[in-house]
Structure 1
């Protein structure tokens, strides 16, 4: 995709809302537009599928100018997900997801299969959610359905306008992880708008930091922006704690996920007692009937068990997926008294655990790598400065920097 000198000037406004944006987005890349409120990032996004018509400039997808395409037909080829999901309240989940495939003429059987495939893809059981209405879903479930609907007709391009901005922080983290997993499987070209720089770091292959009127302050990888912000404006967006923000660049799947002794709520109580008493560790992970993390059980909890586990153990309030960042995992560990966090699959099923020691070792390795990179950069600058000094002393360069 290429945006070329893209401009939007509303009648009567003294300045353009978007002024001359030029940007190349590679196939299969997730690019995040981030900037202050009112800088025009959503306007840029909506010009791509012509929900807003550009005043001037060119937008091309696979070399085809989108201004030469019927706008309704164009929008059916581009997925679009927005904040608060935008689902039709009078339609079931299945009908919402099926909307675009039906419009483009898919057969009933193909649409039905696609709806089930999409629900499974976003981690919702088709048997449970197929006939529900949006009002019967949580905010996170609605957003998952919104993403499923945007992907239903298998568009090559997906536009996402602050899609996770209206949900609570824990749900937002899980939805971000889900998008990362989906992108790893589907390799769509995604343009994602947010005002949250941490979200941009976590999701983006590249980030475009936008000033007023969508002037590009820096367009680079998250690593490059964190380590070498282009100017004070970008530094202000990065904010304090750039080293900690780098924790958003490493995933749980990149570190060791350990196994842990588990039992299930439907195991015989005596078996649970025996395992807890005889095990090397003084703690077990209790799974529910769907193999999802439920409680931490400790030996000291045995005295509270009187024919039931209802009052025993400590509830698990948070878990992470393999696509979660080390920052997500560290926050979960710090808020959990066990010193570790459970790692789960796409339907919440238990996979393993990551403990504090593993996370701290990863942080130390990251900081050491940053320190070595900074030293190498400094030595390179010093060597370059020394070469220039020698050249000047030998009369090779004039004070203007031209060959003498």
Structure 2
């Protein structure tokens, strides 16, 4: 029996438990053929995934992307080919042992309904016979990592959570045993668009801290652009149409099939390549619900803007208050102002931020950190300037590409003329 693949270790503080980082994944001629089928479901897929990168499989329904993913942890057994993780051939090792070294997150979280949040997260560490104290500490750590208050969520059941909270717990469970590899099969496909955006941001933040190797399946090309270091665009039977960075696929799709996935508005899709943290985040006048009304009045009167941001007891954006709101609401915060409908994190894309600005209709969007705490704002002028810069860069790139093409055609024409002239001269002589 093969040994469990060795897991690289990340640097750690003195006295802290080791933390694994990502491992390489090599797929060599991976094939799946079901009995009675004329053609294989997955046909001879070969791919090298670097340690610590996020690779996204995207393709039409039924192309075999989920089947390919599930063969990596052998939830589906390959018919042929090899799988190497961290250099170790895991094709014939005990599949149960293999799965305990690989995190797995699926759509609708897959939590066990009869278990509490803590019991769900602790599942694999307990199977691995971790000491009870270590398991308890890991559960607390994982809840905090995915932005859920351990004291509030520890004893809840899945039915007591929102869809987004369930997905966060699902990710926490997948990471609980500190695996080097995390497989994610359309994990955010069953939640609303706003929650999906925030979960994507959370995954980006986690990956920046943890450096796992993530293989992610989606049918949403915009999601692939946002979270992937590289994207594998798959045809039928998981044939690879293009495997490259999001920017390379957007600017140079390999063929018409890939262009169909990119779709119209490729320049605007590039907004998914730039993060809120890459543009200017400014401070904004704030007050809290615990502040005296007179203090809030004074901030509104003395501020350089016509409105102020009201934060809740946890420091999260709650309402936009404008001059006159408190007077019209007879001095009551309960009826004053406009609720903040959406926020973005520093890991959100400029497209997310632009959509949030348009949704809130305030000309700006609040930027939040861990557990939704206020960090600043991004205004529509900053976002539009970034859009214009991207569009101008695309126009410049298109002009340069056209100029290069014209030079190549001119050089080819000149060469053909020279060749014809030389032939004619020899003949005449």
Same fold flag (TM > 0.5):
yes
What secondary structure, in the 3-state scheme, does the structure 2 residue paired with 1:95 have? Answer: helix
Q: Which residue of 1 aligns with 2:225?
A: 201
Unaligned runs of 5+ in 2: 1-24, 424-429
CA distance in 1, matches of 2:168, 2:233: 27
Q: Which residue of 1 aligns with 2:34?
A: 10
Are positions 1:27 and 2:51 aligned together? yes
TM-score when normalising by structure 1? 0.96
Q: Which residue of 2 aligns with 1:170?
A: 194
1:335 aligned to 359, 367, 379, which one? 359
CA distance in 1, matches of 2:422, 2:214: 50
Query: How far 1:398 moved relative to its partner?
Result: 11
CA distance in 2, matches of 1:28, 1:391: 48
Q: What is the aligned length?
A: 399
Are positions 1:144 and 2:162 aligned together? no
Q: Which residue of 1 aligns with 2:85?
A: 61
CA distance in 2, matches of 1:160, 1:107: 28
Q: Which residue of 1 aligns with 2:409?
A: 385
- Asked if structure 2 preserves the Cα contact closer than 8 Å seen for 1:122 and 1:144, the reply is yes
| Runs of 4+ with >6 A deviation | 396-399
Pair 335,12 (structure 1): closer, same or farther in 2 beyond 3 Å: same
Q: Which residue of 1 aligns with 2:257?
A: 233
Q: Which residue of 2 aligns with 1:402?
A: none
- Asked if structure 1 preserves the Cα contact closer than 8 Å seen for 2:56 and 2:231, the reply is yes
Say which is worse superposed, 224-233 or 157-166, in terms of deviation.
Answer: 224-233
Are positions 1:352 and 2:403 aligned together? no
Q: Which residue of 2 aligns with 1:318?
A: 342
Aligned-pair RMSD on alpha carbons?
A: 1.5
1:158-194, Cα deviation, whole Å (9 max, x unpaired):
0000000111111111100000000111011000000
Unaligned runs of 5+ in 1: 400-404
- Asked if structure 1 preserves the Cα contact closer than 8 Å seen for 2:341 and 2:359, the reply is no
- Asked if structure 2 preserves the Cα contact closer than 8 Å seen for 1:304 and 1:311, the reply is no
CA distance in 1, matches of 2:361, 2:80: 57
Q: Which residue of 2 aligns with 1:91?
A: 115
- Asked if structure 2 preserves the Cα contact closer than 8 Å seen for 1:302 and 1:312, the reply is yes
Query: How far 1:334 moved relative to its partner?
Result: 0.8
CA distance in 1, matches of 2:95, 2:326: 66
CA distance in 2, matches of 1:385, 1:23: 36
Say which is worse superposed, 376-385 or 261-270, in terms of deviation.
Answer: 376-385
Pair 397,274 (structure 1): closer, same or farther in 2 beyond 3 Å: farther
